[in-house]
Amino acid sequence: MTGADIDPLVFVALDVGHTVGADGELTPTVVIDVEGYPQIADLARVHAVDGVGDVTTAAVRSDTTIIIGVRLSRPVLAAFAIAFDATLHGQFLVDVANAGALTFATTNPDTAAADQPLWLAVDIDGPALLNVLTMP
Handedness of CA 81, 86, 92, 93 (dihedral sign): positive
Taking all residues of the chain, what is their mean pLDDT, rounded to a whole number?
Answer: 88
Q: Residue-wise over 58-92: b if at least 16 C-beta within 10 A, else e?
A: ebebeeeebbbebbbeeeeebbbbbebebeebeeb
Could you report the per-residue pLDDT of 59-69, keeping only the tens digit for each?
999 999 999 99
Q: pLDDT: is 75 or 30 the higher one?
A: 30
Say what the pTM is. Answer: 0.87
Question: What is the pLDDT at residue 2?
Answer: 43
Question: What is the pLDDT at residue 6?
Answer: 65
Separation of CA 115 from chain center: 20
Question: What is the pLDDT at residue 110?
Answer: 79
